[in-house]
Amino acid sequence: MKLILNFFLKLLSPLYSLSFIFLLVISLINCGDGSGGSSDEVGLPDYRMRPIVFVHGFMGSASQFESQAQRFISNGYNPEWIYVYEHDTTSNDALTIMIQVSELNNYISKVLEKTGADKVNLISHSRGGFICTYYLKNNSYASKIARYVHIDSTSMLVPAKGVPALALWGEPGLLSPDEVNISDATNIHFSDMSHVQVCTAKESFIKMYKFFHNEEPQNTEIPVLEDDAVTIAGRVLYFQENT
């Protein structure tokens, strides 16, 4: 766990000056009550469009997946099949991580129950990669995962064998050279992308979509609203300012 703590301490330095994250309240990332879509809805997932569960990173939130969620939706995904497991990132000890692994399993079980799908596609970023790689060490848990995307996290833990994995890496320097490849996974490096950018970029979306569907997406741009008015709600998170 010392490696985990050192990893996240490195994230705090030059990556984040003063930033604002607006957590948009959108039903597509909520695994609460509410009915699922009917068969008449456009974009109801077929056998290839399994639900997506995203696990955010340190000081992250569902908003880190907002741009990618919109891209998936523009390619036919039902918004009600895209979910985010939100969790507290203030503690990185072994007990906290294992509790969150169990919570993630319960969350995925609820997603499967709600959607009726056989498995989900799992995506993690940064600290979320620690949770997901421990999750995939459990064969029972791993049986619920069709494909796994590991975004710019450590590779000291290897995803479960039998679960196809795609690893996306950002600019060099944040991770040591021996941490930027995962055996038994497809590794793609974006040397010009920051740690957060590699999670949200169009180029990353294209790789994820092709990994899930074995074909290129039809749309890669975020749809533009016709209405000029945009409503947002939620909270503001202030990152530490380096002086």
pLDDT 10s digits, 75-98 = 999 888 999 888 777 777 788 788
CB-count burial class (<10 Å; 0-12, 13-18, 19+) for 132: buried
Select the more confidently predicted residue: 189 or 25. 189
pLDDT at 18 over 70: no
Least Cα distance to 4 among 107, 105, 93, 106 occurs for 93
How confident is the model over 200-238, as pLDDT tens digits? 889 999 999 999 999 999 988 887 777 777 777 777 766
Residue 64's pLDDT is: 73
Least confident among 32-41, 141-150, 202-211, 218-227: 32-41
How far CA 206 is from CA of 4, 139, 180, in Å, comes to 29, 29, 20
pLDDT-derived band at 53 (thresholds 50, 70, 90) equals very high
Token pair 């990618």: residue: 68
Helix axes 202-213, 66-74, angle to 10 degrees: 50
Say whether pLDDT at 34 is over 50: no
Alpha carbon 102 to chain centroid distance?
Answer: 17
Domain 2-11+47-238, CATH among 1.10.10.60, 3.90.1170.40, 3.40.630.30, 3.40.50.1820: 3.40.50.1820
Is-contact 107 132, C-beta < 8 A?
no
Q: What is the rounded radius of gyration, in angstroms, for the C-alpha atoms of the chain?
A: 17
pLDDT band at 177; cut points 50, 70, 90? low
Measure Cα distances from 18 to 63, 162, 242 in Å.
17, 41, 8
This prediction's pTM: 0.72
Confidence of residue 174 (pLDDT cuts 50, 70, 90): low
